[in-house]
Amino acid sequence: FVHLRGDGDGGVEGGGLDGVAVEDGGWGGGASGSTRDSAALAGLSSSSSSSSPDEVSLCSSAAAAASSFASVFSAHLRSKSTKECSSALWPADLPEPEGAGGVGKHFLTQCSQLLPKFPNAALVLISRSNRSLRVPTFSHELSLSTWEKDLAASNDPAIAPSEAVRYLSSAPGKCILVDNTSNQDIAASYPEFLKKGISVVTPNKKAFSSDLKLWQSIFESAYPSRPQGGLVYHESSVGAGLPIISTLKDLVETGDEVQKIEGVFSGTMSFLFNNFAPVEGKGGKWSDEVKKAKDAGYTEPDPRDDLNGVDVARKLVILARIVGLQIESTSAFPVQSLIPKELESCGSGDEFMEKLPAHDDEMAKVKSEAETKGKIVRFVGSIDVASRKVEVGLRDFDKGHPIAGLKGSDNIISFYTRRYGQNPLIVQGAGAGGEVTAMGVTADLIKVIQRIS
């Protein structure tokens, strides 16, 4: 939660940094999520009276690879010099995050480097599922350099979304919630934050790809549908830090006609197929490539959570809704799963990996059939806007096609529109990883701060 105060001259004075964290997808006893869930809540508050100081509050929830947490920032603008503010607010950089994943931790690291440029921002709340750390008033902040140690020493219980709404609503100005989790309960609470004028920044796909009614409720509660509502930014819910959502919104809002969207939307699937069925060379066995991807941190602890295709389907739902298609959920269109039926009931990811080699021939046949036609197989998603057709699954491509020539874990998304004709607008780059995902979240935060300032 970031709290900003300022006078008419724009002078500032620093305070401290507080934050709240949610662990493993839980907000004080809420539903648990995976260990890769991360949350960040940010809130900015600004006084409606021109004679009183403006105040911005930022709340952030963040998570590391094995420990999800939420953090809330508060920064204060006061009638003091910028130098006084920056030196008091941002004492040191965060340590480099350890391990895979950890979007929230990377986000806090980036904030420690970024927010000195916004000396009116500060951390005020961090919460795990079993504890939290926050300032009782908005007169000071928590330290970005010691938040981990301070949180570990805290005896305060976790904060629930409803309590966070009340807390941020009590700030004297505007607030921003940065949610880096994949928690459904937190996502379901977005409308309540937005109705109170609290903006939301998040990579949480579930908020925008689950029930259509939640999508509608979120945007009906936000500005401009509700003049006093908060802003919503969720660039990193599709393609990590790639500018996919912002590009699509620009096309739609400037009056272009989006005809088709097609691409590789999963860094995991990209890595797998670029190594399993490369343009040049034979590639390895399917089970070996899945193991390599898992060992490299490209898959969930249970690779079935990637191989079932649902992650790609969620991203397509989000993009389809942006172009105006009323897609109810991921079950409204065909999603091809790469999990052998015999292994769907495996009790664990380890058991699945142990039994997967017995099914290598099935994927070898898929690759061979594509090669017979002089093509390369890839796992893609597509949206045909005119026919309202959405699909997720395997497709064959010519070896010279941009999708066939991807490297590493890159994503590639092609936008076919009336303006661009047969030469689509293409966005390509790293589509997975905690640091690049956090970059998208941080960039959204900057946009919100600039808009409400």
Which three-class secondary structure state does DSSP give residue 379? Answer: strand
Assess whether 315 carries a catalytic annotation: yes
∠ Cα 175 177 179 (to 5°): 170
Residue 361 makes CB contacts below 8 A (sequence gap 6+) with none
How many angstroms separate the CA atoms of 195 and 199, rounded? 9
Element containing residue 276 per DSSP (H, E): helix 267-276
How many angstroms separate the CA atoms of 318 and 300, rounded? 21
* Type of residue at 412: I
The separation between the first and the last C-alpha atoms of the chain, rounded to the nearest angstrom, is 16
Q: Give 95's DSSP letter.
A: P
Element containing residue 85 per DSSP (H, E): helix 82-89
Question: Could you tell me if 300 and 269 are in contact, meaning their C-beta atoms sit under 8 angstroms apart?
Answer: no
**Which residues, in sequence order, are bridge partners of residue 175?**
57, 198
Question: Could you tell me if 39 and 181 are in contact, meaning their C-beta atoms sit under 8 angstroms apart?
Answer: yes
How many angstroms separate the CA atoms of 364 and 269, rounded? 16
Element containing residue 435 per DSSP (H, E): helix 434-452
* Type of residue at 436: V
Question: Could you tell me if 221 and 188 are in contact, meaning their C-beta atoms sit under 8 angstroms apart?
Answer: no
Considering 80, 315, 375, 399, which one is annotated as catalytic? 315
Question: Could you tell me if 64 and 102 are in contact, meaning their C-beta atoms sit under 8 angstroms apart?
Answer: yes
**What's the count of helices (H) and strands (E) in the chain, helices before strands?**
16, 14
Q: How many CA atoms lie within 13 A of 435 on its CB side?
A: 6
Which three-class secondary structure state does DSSP give residue 411? Answer: strand
Residue 94 makes CB contacts below 8 A (sequence gap 6+) with 105, 108, 109, 111, 112, 144, 145, 147
Q: Which residues are catalytic?
A: 315
